[in-house]
Homo-oligomer: A and B are copies of this chain.
Amino acid sequence: MAADSREPRQPTMDDVALAAGVSRTSVSRVFLGQSKVSRETIRRVREVADELGYVPNRIASGLASGGSSTVGLLLRDAANPAYGLLFTRLQREAHEAGLDIISMTIAEDHRGHKQVAALDHLIGMQVSALIVATGGVTSDQLDPFRSRLPIIRAGRPEPTTRVHAVSYDEVDAGHRLGSLVTGQGHRRVAVLHTEADESYPEWVRATAITEALGAGGAEVVTLPVRRVGDQVEAAVDLAARGTVSAIMCPSDARALDVLRALQGRGLSAPDDVSVTGCDGIMPGLDLIGLTTFRVAVEHLAHRAITNLVGLLSGDIDSVVHEEVAGTLVPGRTSGPHHPLEN
């Protein structure tokens, strides 16, 4: 049996109008929920529409009315739990604000090329606003569109002051984690320092961690990293040799990797070395007991949408630049340093 016989052309508004014995305008009014339509007309139109399986063509209506009410969301990678949750929360908040969101994921390949395809695609769909939840798109790439529709960055520190942004207070996160560790007596600490162009948020975190560590009187061994997994062995080596008593990572994924490597060597945290991460989103983190910092995804999503609504309605006309605070999550993978043991 053939699965699809395709063709059966979508019924149009004219089909409905004809079948209902009214003008196309009336049908339009019914679907737009406009006032000037009689009860009876509404009923007949709805009935006929259902019967025919009519679904308004948003493409056409968007064209005609010049402007859809849906906002576009540009994503990078929902496989990362932190982004997956952000995605979900943004959707929810948007929904509650009466906004429809359509999202596209940028391809990961060629930095700066394929990326923009999704941007153009969304712009081309005439979305009424754009939420950019990925660093894969630079502020420069957003520039040409800033004057055409509100664009707000969500979840990434925005270095420029040109585009609206609601981001996590990564500096605070780094400082809190750093202080926690120096407060526990650690004086030589390895920091996995992500390159800025690999992940700007992680770079900011690592930088803040390093700063706090220095302020707390600790010496820092900086290990520049790009992809998850980089320098993990090196860090563990340092710990095994007793060169450092703590390894700090700018993300939970990297911290888990360190934990894994430690385990592979028969070492463990915090007995042999303290380990910290950052994000705090993954389910099950509590079971692992990772010391981390929990970013306020829910709050960020809320602020992002609230601001977007303000931007859309024109109530806000200045550049939005907010940071939301998170929570330190002390775990069992970090603990006080006992100099005597080394």
Q: CB distance A148 to B81 under 8 Å?
A: no
For A55, give its contact among B114, B123, B253, B259 (CB under 8 Å): B123
A47 touches B (CB below 8 Å): no
Residues of chain B contacted by A87 (CB below 8 angstroms): 78-79, 84, 105
Contact with B along A110-141 (1 / 0, CB 8 A): 00001001001101111000000000000000
Q: CB distance A3 to B125 under 8 Å?
A: no
| Complex interface residues of chain A between 29 and 81 (CB less than 8 A to chain B) | 53, 55-60, 62-63, 68, 70, 77-81
Q: CB distance B100 to A104 under 8 Å?
A: yes
CB distance from A151 to the nearest CB of B (A): 9
Q: CB distance A320 to B3 under 8 Å?
A: yes
A164 touches B (CB below 8 Å): yes
For A102, give its contact among B53, B103, B123 (CB under 8 Å): B103
Q: Which of A206-214, A216-224, A279-287 is the interface stretch?
A: A279-287
How far is B285's CA from A260's CA once the two chains are assembled, in angstroms?
A: 11
A144 touches B (CB below 8 Å): yes
Q: CB distance B124 to A55 under 8 Å?
A: yes
Q: Most chain-B CB neighbours within 10 Å: which of A78, A85, A317?
A: A78
CB nearest to A4 among chain B residues: B150
**Interface range on chain A: under 10, 10 to 19, 20 to 34, or 35 or more?**
35 or more
For A120, give its contact among B55, B108, B284, B286 (CB under 8 Å): B55
CB distance from A166 to the nearest CB of B (A): 14
For A60, give its contact among B63, B68, B253, B287 (CB under 8 Å): B63
| Complex interface residues of chain A between 89 and 114 (CB less than 8 A to chain B) | 89, 91-92, 95, 100-105, 107-108, 114
Q: CB distance B121 to A100 under 8 Å?
A: yes
Q: CB distance A149 to B81 under 8 Å?
A: no
Residues of chain B contacted by A88 (CB below 8 angstroms): 77-79, 105
A342 touches B (CB below 8 Å): no
Q: CB distance A126 to B282 under 8 Å?
A: no
Q: CB distance A58 to B124 under 8 Å?
A: yes
Q: CB distance B260 to A287 under 8 Å?
A: yes
Q: Provided the pairs A4-B150, A63-B63, A284-B282 are in contact, do residues A85 and B79 lie with their beta carbons within 8 angstroms?
A: yes
How far is B320's CA from A259's CA once the two chains are assembled, in angstroms?
A: 43
How far is B78's CA from A318's CA once the two chains are assembled, in angstroms?
A: 32
Q: CB distance B58 to A149 under 8 Å?
A: no
CB nearest to A108 among chain B residues: B92
A316 touches B (CB below 8 Å): yes
Q: Most chain-B CB neighbours within 10 Å: which of A7, A147, A150?
A: A147
Subset of 14 A-B contacts with CB under 8 Å: A3-B164, A3-B318, A4-B149, A7-B147, A57-B124, A79-B87, A81-B81, A81-B84, A87-B105, A95-B107, A101-B105, A102-B103, A102-B125, A103-B104
4 A-B pairs closest in CB distance: A84-B84, A58-B124, A79-B88, A53-B144
